[in-house]
Chain A
Amino acid sequence: MTDAELVERARAGDQAAFGVLVDRYQHVVVRAARAVVGQSEEAEDVAQDVFLRAYRRIDGFRGEASVKTWLLAITWRQALSHRRSIAVRVRRFISTGDDEVFDPPATARLQDQELADRDLQRTVARVVRTLPAKYREALMLNATGDHTFDEMSQALGVPAGTLKWRVSEARRRLKEKLLKLDLF
């Protein structure tokens, strides 16, 4: 069943049809939210709110963009609002700031190469956190591989050229900082 058909059925009150959309795009939405808020648990909270908002506003979906792009636009606004909220600022101020922000997912058994890769991932995650928000967000959203620059541009309301430049600049700064750490 296509996205458009699922949307039509959800508009008619079919919650199961919307549930299929949730299954289909849950990872995309969680990753996009994580690109902004950083932490996995907070990203999942944001993503849940995104789907609830989308369900309530499904009548406003006109089909001009794809469902994925529509969800990305909602996710971006919701994640930025979440990050700016007072409660989140207070929580992050109190926390040590070193807990699982952009931490790579855990793996069951790690070999030597995997351990080395995981160390590098931790270091990269730590350095990514030091980048300015607009570079970090564009870099991490692009790194998900879920969206083209045109889709990102349409959802975020930022020109595709600007997004490409931000990603490029973020990578340049990231590499420069990693080289100073003698990782390569």
Chain B
Amino acid sequence: MNPDDRIDHALRAIAKADASREFSAQVRARIEAGDGVHAAWWPKVAAACAAVLLVAAVAWFMREAPPAPSEQMAQTTAPVVATRSLAPAPPREPRAEPLPWSRSTHVARMRGSVARVTTARSLTGDHERALEPLSPLEALSVPSIAPDAMVVVDHVIAPLAPITPLSTSAM
């Protein structure tokens, strides 16, 4: 017997399996009993329940999940934009009044002595000058400058009380 015939023979033997002896009697009994097809109502119910659970689970996860960064930005910025567009503009702060005095400080070397010279000047052009002798240690940090020259080392604008002039004899 060649391979094709042997395969055919085997296939027929497998496929030719008959129904069991009690098969016909079982069918007749079910028909007489008015039995319906027992095709399975419960798999359909189980499938429906599984579908409902799946939908519920998805809904739950969607509710618990944190929003994406882009959503967070949208949620954060949107109310601010709305507030800016709807809220009245804040009142501008009043400008500071002009200072009554300005003060400048110089270091001056005059006739071999070094002193800090503070000049207070009013808006009207009045000015007053105070001299403060530097200690020998402070005098060392002053750069070498020509006698009688003045070097601006600081400039401060602040409200000041008039400075009492020092006596030039103190230098």
Contacts and interface: CB of A to CB of B under 8 A. Distances in A.
Interface residues of A, number: 51
Interface in B89-141: none
A17 B8 CA distance: 36
Interface in A117-171: 117, 120-121, 124-125, 128, 139-141, 143-145, 171
Contacts of B28: 15, 19, 22
Given A52-B37, A125-B14, A128-B14, A86 B7 contact: no
B43 A30 contact: no
The main secondary structure of chain B at its interface with chain A is helix
Contacts of A87: 40, 43
A48 B15 contact: no
DSSP majority for the A interface?
helix
B46 A86 contact: yes
Nearest to A19: B28
Interface residues of B, number: 34
B12, B31, B43, B46: residue with the most chain A Cβ atoms closer than 10 Å? B31
Contacts of B37: 49, 52-53, 56
Contacts of B9: 117
Interface in B5-54: 6-20, 23-24, 26-28, 30-32, 35-40, 43, 46-47
A129 B13 CA distance: 15
Interface of B: 3-4, 6-20, 23-24, 26-28, 30-32, 35-40, 43, 46-47
Given A34-B15, A40-B17, A171-B4, 8 more contacts: A44-B20, A44-B23, A47-B23, A48-B27, A85-B43, A125-B14, A143-B15, A174-B7
Interface of A: 15, 18-19, 22-23, 26-27, 29-31, 34-35, 40, 44, 47-49, 51-53, 55-56, 78, 81-82, 85-87, 102-105, 117, 120-121, 124-125, 128, 139-141, 143-145, 171, 174-175, 178-179, 183-184
